[in-house]
Amino acid sequence: MPGAYAKINVHRPELSPAERRVADIIVSRREKVPFLSIHEIARIAGVSVASVSRLARRIGYAGFSEMKIDLARDSGGPLDRMYRAIRPDDSDEQVVRQVFLGNIRSLEDTLRMCETGVLVKAAKTLAAARRIIFIGIGGSGNVARDAALRFSHLDIQAEAYTDFYQILIQALRAKPGEVVFGISHSGRSHVTIEGINLARSNGAVTMGISNYPGSPLGTSCEMFFCTSFPENRVKVAALSSRIAQLCLIDALYLLTARYKKKLWDIERLNILTERLIREGG
């Protein structure tokens, strides 16, 4: 199960201003928060006690006491002590280190959020699909292309579309027995969400990956997978949750291979590829 800090991160876009102030205090003072009362946290954040309670319920706890137990369990690990936001005066070595630590944390938190049963259900659906259409814009489009290539290795008609017009056309063409898989870090890409909604209205199964469970993409898909990237700590535009997205895709790919009734001879493809590379060289 995801820890308290991972839950705060993925629900952050849904928080009210008061709840966000509480979340910021909890994240910035993570070593002290488990020892503070609800009244002390409210005072430091400059909000009401009710706002602290609402934050706890918003991220899935029955109340503050339950959240506090999880905060204590989730605080102070080795990675938390090493990982911090990148600062302008950091050395090159420190920047590199924080990038790696950020991705490590992202993978650990994403793994804790994974539900194996949902992954298996999705893999069985993908294994039986006549066609899989991956859609995404920008960096998510690159992940969509990579996903389509992976699933093509399973003798599945897998395609990727990253252009606004093509996404809408393919979503309108989607049929029952096909899967449309949307990828968006924010979960708010208008064309990706529109594509998912169109495909679902046509009877296709819809799946998606986003960093935020309460995002429009998360609520539109029949099967949804959430990554966790602590972007509130590392303010660098080039960083994203693509590593975690690719790990989820790989897990689905391997599970789909397990449940696919018939696989083609991938070794023959490898031999042909190696021959073409040699001849091309």
Question: In this structure, are 144 and 12 located in the same domain?
Answer: no
Mean pLDDT of the chain: 85
Whether pTM exceeds 0.95:
no
Question: In this structure, are 68 and 136 located in the same domain?
Answer: no
Confidence bin at 240 (pLDDT 50/70/90): low
Is residue 100, in this structure, part of any structural domain at all?
no
Confidence bin at 174 (pLDDT 50/70/90): very high
Is residue 104, in this structure, part of any structural domain at all?
no
Tally of structural domains, the chain: 2
Tell me the residue range of the domain where 13 lies. 1-76
The tens digit of pLDDT for each residue in 248-258 reads 999 999 999 99
Contacts of 257 (CB under 8 A, 6+ apart): 154, 263
The CATH number of the domain holding residue 162 is 3.40.50.10490
Which of 188, 180, 187, 194 is CA-nearest to residue 209?
187
Residue 80, pLDDT > 70, answer no
